[in-house]
Amino acid sequence: MAQIEWEALSVFVFFFALVTVMGFLAARWKSAGVREHLDEWGLGGRQFGTWITWFLIGGDFYTAYTVIAVPALVYAVGAYGFFALPYTIIVYPFVFAIMPMLWKVAHKNGYVTAADVVHGTYSSRALELAVALTGMVATMPYIALQLIGMGVVIKAMGLSGDWPIIAAFIILALYTYSSGLRAPALIAFVKDTMIYIVVLVAVIVVPYKLGGYGAVFSAANDAFVAKGGQTGIILKPGQLLPFATLALGSALAAFMYPHTLTGVFASKSADTIRKNAILLPAYTLLLGLIALMGYMAHAAKLNLSSPNDAVPMLFQTLFPSWFAGFAFAAIAIGALVPAAVMSIGAANLFTRNVWKSYVNPGITHAGEASVAKVTSLVVKVGALAFILFLPVQFALDLQLLGGLWILQTFPALVFLLFTRWFRAEGLLLGWAVGIGWGSWTAWSNGMKPLASLTLGGESYTFFVGLGALILNIAVAAVATLIVRMVLPKGTATARS
Amino acid sequence: MWVLLLIPFIGLLWVPFYNFTEPSLFGFPFFYWYQFAWVPITSFLIWLVYRSRTPDETE
């Protein structure tokens, strides 16, 4: 693949240049000419309606890494990799029920981050910091993975070395700095339209060339049987519980991340979020079809050096060079949108819950905006350094742990919408135990996200994040009971 | 009406319901088209709940 694919590369560069110009012009899009304010830079002015939110959340939840990694997993392990489909379906009833309530709390009090909501409710600096740090730490490797996704398609066009990624990321960092959340919101229109075109063409043309979906599934089945039948195109008995718990745990974790919450808080109204819960599943159909490309790679008899090459190789083998370039541009631009929103989400957390809480409590709105802008640059440089200097596997492992960590902020963030019974001390202890037990279990299983439990002679294997969450809630409840006995009045203030 | 939101959880998390290859549809084994079918069904269920709720006062 050392040969540079000039035709594909030209198409790629054209679209990349287009979104770069859009990224810089976005600063003036829907701008009311308001003074410097974190609501403007970090939440796009809290004014995004149904369609902008649909493109923004769709563009930042279904990331470039998803387009590479989900088919790669399906290529390697079959039906088990498909847990992404139930995960991204059941997440929406949850979003519909919970996120409008959270939006209302944030809107009423001018909160920008999850940690703002937690601090505003429990008046606990420690719990605020725990939620903020978890968000930042879980986001960093996620940004690094977007770079890996971008790197895979750049390599497929025959470019070698790190400079293309460094250049792309500097451009991204600059327009995020100047335009804030407006840049990814505007670019998401281009990105999502391109991805829809690419996937719809691929799911029609590829099976047509390979003899239909029946042939695609049977080729995949043959490949798994030939590999020894450990996995297949339906789940093996031992995979049922891991499949279901991964789907549920991932669904509960998905909207605890700073980048997804940023999309929620940036919307205009609670109703915007409700309508999006109805409309966003369209992206899930797309994701399911993308996942099937893992099987198409088997049917096309591709010779892959790594499962991550399944999608790029499929396009290079079955399509003209210009269309492959278009598809690669869609994937690379697909990395820019989430990377921008993630760095903004992490920057908002740092500004509001570390800088404002510990360094400069009297900071002005303009001061918040400039701290966040600089932080977004630092976050991106950090993510870049991450993949330039550390093994790729390290980013993958950390992202996996990140999912388990962010899930442990669920009780602190979601329970307050229903009850004020829990105390900050209890929630903090539950968080610590969940993170500690979950990380240790994943670590001792060789970084597999699964834990095993033997009950009555039967062994059950399940997603470690969900187990840690249950432990977290149990510890939080017991600790709250004890704290309420010792300190009946408590220091907690009423929900404002 | 809110109980409708729980149906997708049951339909998709109880995996023994759908871990089969037959009956297949347009070449898709049951495992796959069943899950795909839940996407529009879930949207529809959420829409039903959305329609039935009383709107927010201040929007």
**Residues of A whose CB is below 8 A from B56:** 269-271
Q: Classify residue A32 as exposed, middle or buried by CB count within 10 Å of its CB (0-12, 13-18, 19+).
A: exposed
What is the C-alpha to C-alpha distance for residues A16 and A18, in angstroms, rounded to an integer?
5
**Residues of B whose CB is below 8 A from A79:** 19, 31
A484 assigned to some structural domain: no
The 10s digit of each residue's pLDDT in A190-243 is 888 888 899 889 888 988 888 889 999 989 888 988 888 788 888 888 889 989
**CB-CB contact of A179 with A27 (8 Å):** yes
Tell me the Cα Rg of chain B: 15
CB contact, 8 Å: B48 with chain A? no
B29 assigned to some structural domain: yes
**Residues of A whose CB is below 8 A from B13:** 86, 90, 244, 247-248
With a CB cutoff of 8 Å and minimum separation 6, the contacts of A219 are: A210, A295, A298, A299, A301
Q: Decide which of A365 and A494 is more confident.
A: A365
A301 closest CA partner among A211, A421, A197, A168: A211
Q: Is A35's pLDDT higher than 70? A: no
DSSP state of A33: -
Tell me the sheet residues that pair with A459: A454
CA atoms within 13 A on the CB side of A369: 20
The boundaries of the domain holding residue A333 are 6-393
CA atoms within 13 A on the CB side of A187: 35
CATH number of the domain enclosing A283: 1.20.1730.10
B57 assigned to some structural domain: no
The domain tally of chain B equals 1
For B30, nearest residue in chain A (alpha carbons): A234
Share of chain A above pLDDT 70, in %: 97
The 10s digit of each residue's pLDDT in A341-376 is 999 999 999 998 988 888 888 888 888 888 888 888
Provide the angle, in degrees to the nearest 10, between the axes of the packed helices A64-77 and A125-156: 70
The boundaries of the domain holding residue B43 are 2-51
A250 assigned to some structural domain: yes
**Integer CA distances (angstroms), A333 to A63, A72, A288, A352, in order:** 10, 19, 20, 29
Mean pLDDT lowest among A188-192, A358-362, A453-457, A474-478: A453-457
A422 assigned to some structural domain: no
A411 assigned to some structural domain: no
**Residues of A whose CB is below 8 A from B24:** 214
Tell me the sheet residues that pair with A461: A452
**CB-CB contact of A450 with A464 (8 Å):** yes
Q: How far is B12 from chain A (nearest CA, A)?
A: 6
Interface test with A, best of B4, B13, B14, B22 (most A CBs within 10 A): B13
The domain tally of chain A equals 1
CB contact, 8 Å: B10 with chain A? no
In one letter, which amino acid is A394? F
B58 assigned to some structural domain: no
* Reported pTM: 0.88
